[in-house]
Amino acid sequence: MLRKLLMSVTVLAGVATANVCSAQDSTVNVLYAGSLVNLMEHGVGPAFNKQTGLNFQGYAAGSNKIANEIKGKLRRGDVFISASPKVNTMLMGADNGDHVTWYVNFAESPLMIGYSARSKFADDFKTKRWDTVLQEPGIRIGRTDPKLDPKGAFTVEMVTKAADLYHEPDLVQKTLGAPDNPAQVLPEETLVGRLQSGQLDAGFFYSTETSDLAIPAILPAPELHAKAIYTLTILKDAQNPSGAAAFVKFLLSDQGQALLKAHGVEVTKPTVTGDAQAIPQSLQGVIAAD
């Protein structure tokens, strides 16, 4: 009797282990820039699931925040999508854990000033220069943390350039305050929701966010242009490297690129930086080395 019981337990343990392995094999964990929430969760993710039979599982946050979590071994993933090539360097080399050995630039998205159509300042944005509107008393502005997210750094950079262009030396202080101003700085993945709910009058967003969600927006003067340059890579310690390669291949396919365009992202020719030899063989035909 005892022997039969032990055999049953062993069989059940084997089935449980097989189920866990099967779940890992079918799930692709994608860590991605928070500006891509709508694109990933409502566009790419479902389409990838349907096309491949694999299970997209996403995590969104500021690109620097994700990189810090990877480096600190607080989070693991299969694919990492950043809004700036510089973020990848935080994870490259032995001193940084060798989490990234190559990355691909695949899309871009300009930085815009978006505003709520229901805001009392909406008409001002239509008739006045954006920097003057952002200085009006009572306006509620949202942006991301420049330490945790490239968009936050681009925002400070854009306003600093505008101060020179428009000869307004106090513009940064009058519009943004301190770099970590708690009245403005919010998690990237919640910024759009705050604007849509009426908690903010205006904020700094990429074109993929304003276009995707029909947010009225202003593109600053050409001298001030800043943009996200989206990159993707398969992390060296990916738990599902074959699933990760399938996701990258899908994203760079005609169907994936059509989804990017439909969500307001400017598609660029995929080019790789880093060790091109480390790219999976299945992706060699869709990625061009510099």
Per-residue pLDDT tens, the chain, 290 aa: give them: 545 544 444 444 444 434 444 455 799 999 999 999 999 999 999 999 999 999 999 999 999 999 999 999 999 999 999 999 999 999 999 999 999 999 999 999 999 999 999 999 999 999 999 999 999 999 999 999 999 999 999 999 999 999 999 999 999 999 999 999 999 999 998 999 999 999 999 999 999 999 988 999 999 999 999 999 999 999 999 999 999 999 999 999 999 999 999 999 999 999 999 999 999 999 988 886 55
Same domain, 148 and 211: yes
Rounded to 5°, the CA angle 208-209-214 comes to 105
Which residue from 216, 69, 229, 203 is spatially nearest to 139, judged by alpha carbons? Answer: 203
Give the domain CATH number at 236: 3.40.190.10
Q: How far apart are CA 252 and CA 191, in angstroms?
A: 27
According to DSSP H, which parts of 95-240 are helical? 122-127, 130-133, 150-165, 171-175, 188-196, 207-212
Beta strands in the chain (DSSP E): 27-33, 55-61, 79-82, 102-115, 141-142, 202-206, 217-218, 227-234, 266-274, 288-289
Same domain, 129 and 153: yes
| Helix, strand, or coil (residue 247) | helix
* Containing structural domain, residue 191: 110-227
Count of structural domains within the chain? 2
Among 200, 227, 254, identify where a domain stops: 227
Any domain includes 7: no
Any domain includes 116: yes
Residue 69 CA, distance from chain mean position:
15
Q: How far apart are CA 67 and CA 4, in angstroms?
A: 50
Same domain, 128 and 91: no
What's the pLDDT score for residue 19? 44
Same domain, 173 and 233: no
Same domain, 40 and 73: yes
